[in-house]
């Protein structure tokens, strides 16, 4: 294992994609929080998806190599050896999700021979191909690939259990660090025109969500669950992705296209989440969604499907509105729509829990201690 340098720590981040999703924006928050005393190299398995990079402070020294060995492909010994060789010269390697698992495997196979730096892997959830059932072949591969990892970081109790029981990771390797945000940013009022192309008019009520428009988010289901709400309610889905047309088609078939709005991606949720009257999630799979924490910090009641840690994350009075299926989600939305006093009470309870349990200061501190310890330092700076 290479010894940490006396200069600024050099951290290599290996992402399947560096689009502006939850895990990527958490990575950005950590990079910004660690400050200019740490140098970073960020690799995206999909070179064209680098939107999260624009949120990194210009004061932070970051490079984005275009010639790093591909994170995707058959895990042949030759390809894995090239990946391992590319990890040399850093103080710490951070890998993220299944899309970077070959890098973890390369580190396990060649790390000792090449005296590679320590590696910490992060798992945040699953794609459409594993949301119903984890693939046995991937479980086996993860068990081996993580054999030399210094730590496996997960944001949810659900993933912690999977890591221990399914991937057979030793208890000392698995670290549960809940996601966190700057909860104070979500306390203020939002401009009615904060979102591109849609304005909240006087008297309107909004069901809102923030999500990539991907199959795993099952947003057509949210459209159907919303369809029974009265004309005074609008559905606002903030995000971009390949499911845009499927969402619009579902709304058109239900004759509610005029009440379903897709303003696209918006970079700063604190500017618009406060416009929602109810926050909703319809995903087939989640773990500890950052968008949920943002809505809670903004003081919003939540109606969502019961996946991942969502039921445990919301305040206890909100738990009856975490739904088992599409029908229950529709009922939860209708109930909240007809009870503004309860919406207010649940929102206040969610805000209090977000501030107590999900503020980013605790998250940043936990990651900082973990990364520093892995390279034999007291602090990263």
pLDDT tens-digit series, residues 30-44: 999 999 999 999 999
Residue 69 has pLDDT above 70, yes or no: yes
- In which region does residue 190 sit, left (phi positive, over 0), alpha (psi from -120 to 50) or beta (all else)? beta
Q: Residue 188 burial (CB < 10 Å; 0-12/13-18/19+)? A: exposed
Q: pLDDT (tens digit, 9 = 90+) per residue, 224-283?
A: 999 999 999 999 999 999 999 999 999 999 999 999 999 998 988 999 999 999 999 999
% of residues, the chain, pLDDT over 70: 97
Range of the domain at 288: 183-357
Do 188 and 336 lie in a common domain?
A: yes
Q: Are 354 and 183 in contact (CB under 8 A)?
A: yes
Do 335 and 367 lie in a common domain?
A: no
Please state, in angstroms and rounded to a whole number, the distance separating the CA atoms of residues 79 and 94: 19
Please state, in angstroms and rounded to a whole number, the distance separating the CA atoms of residues 160 and 181: 21
Do 200 and 323 lie in a common domain?
A: yes
CATH number, domain with residue 243? 3.40.50.2000
Do 200 and 294 lie in a common domain?
A: yes
Q: Are 266 and 196 in contact (CB under 8 A)?
A: yes
Please state, in angstroms and rounded to a whole number, the distance separating the CA atoms of residues 123 and 114: 25
Do 142 and 202 lie in a common domain?
A: no
Q: Mean pLDDT lowest for which of 3-7, 79-83, 105-109, 200-204?
A: 3-7
Q: Residue 130's pLDDT is what?
A: 65
User: Does 264 fall in a domain?
Assistant: yes
| 3-class DSSP state of 206 | strand
CA distances for 245 relative to 21, 215, 261, angstroms: 20, 12, 12
Do 237 and 148 lie in a common domain?
A: no
Non-local (6+) Cβ contacts of 116 within 8 A are 1, 2, 84, 87, 88, 93, 107, 110
Q: Residue 237's pLDDT is what?
A: 98
User: Does 125 fall in a domain?
Assistant: yes
Closest by CA to 259, choosing from 332, 206, 325, 300, is: 206
Q: Are 366 and 30 in contact (CB under 8 A)?
A: no
> What's the whole-model pTM score?
0.83
Please state, in angstroms and rounded to a whole number, the distance separating the CA atoms of residues 373 and 182: 25
Please state, in angstroms and rounded to a whole number, the distance separating the CA atoms of residues 354 and 184: 10
Do 65 and 176 lie in a common domain?
A: yes
User: Does 3 fall in a domain?
Assistant: no
Do 346 and 325 lie in a common domain?
A: yes
Angle (nearest 5°) at CA 233 between 229 and 238: 110
């Amino acid at each position: 294992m290479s010894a940490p340098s006396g200069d600024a720590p050099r951290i290599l981040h290996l992402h399947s994609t560096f689009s502006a999703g939850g895990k990527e924006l958490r990575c950005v928050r950590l990079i910004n929080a660690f400050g200019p005393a740490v140098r970073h190299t960020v690799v995206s398995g999909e070179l064209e998806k680098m939107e999260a990079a624009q949120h990194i402070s210009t004061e932070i020294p970051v490079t984005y190599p275009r010639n790093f060995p591909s994170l995707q492909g058959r895990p042949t010994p030759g390809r894995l050896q090239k990946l391992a060789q590319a990890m040399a010269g850093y103080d710490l390697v951070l890998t993220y999700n299944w899309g970077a698992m070959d890098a973890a495997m390369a580190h396990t196979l060649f790390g000792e021979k090449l005296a590679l730096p320590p590696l910490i892997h992060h798992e945040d959830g699953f794609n459409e191909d594993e949301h119903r059932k984890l693939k046995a072949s991937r479980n086996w591969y993860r068990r081996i690939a993580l054999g030399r990892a210094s730590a496996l970081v997960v944001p949810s109790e659900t993933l912690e259990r999977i890591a221990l029981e399914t991937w057979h990771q030793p208890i000392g390797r698995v670290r549960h660090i809940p996601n966190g945000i700057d909860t104070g940013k979500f306390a203020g009022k939002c401009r009615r025109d904060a979102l591109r192309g849609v304005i909240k008019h006087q008297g309107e009520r909004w069901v809102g969500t923030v999500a990539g428009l991907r199959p795993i988010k099952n947003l057509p289901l949210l459209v159907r669950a919303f369809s029974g709400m009265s004309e005074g309610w609008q559905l606002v889905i903030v995000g971009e992705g390949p499911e845009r047309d499927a969402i619009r088609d579902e709304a058109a078939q239900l004759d509610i296209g005029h009440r379903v709005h897709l303003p696209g991606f918006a970079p700063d949720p604190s500017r618009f989440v406060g416009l929602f009257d109810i926050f909703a999630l319809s995903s087939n799979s989640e773990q500890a969604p950052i968008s949920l924490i943002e809505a809670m910090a903004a003081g919003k009641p939540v109606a969502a499907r019961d996946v991942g840690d969502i039921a445990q994350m919301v305040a206890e009075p909100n738990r009856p509105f975490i739904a088992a299926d599409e029908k229950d989600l529709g009922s939860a939305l209708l109930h909240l729509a007809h009870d503004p006093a309860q919406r207010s009470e649940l929102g206040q309870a969610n805000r209090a829990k977000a501030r107590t349990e999900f503020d980013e200061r605790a998250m940043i501190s936990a990651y900082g201690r973990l990364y520093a310890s892995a390279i034999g330092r007291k602090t990263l700076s």
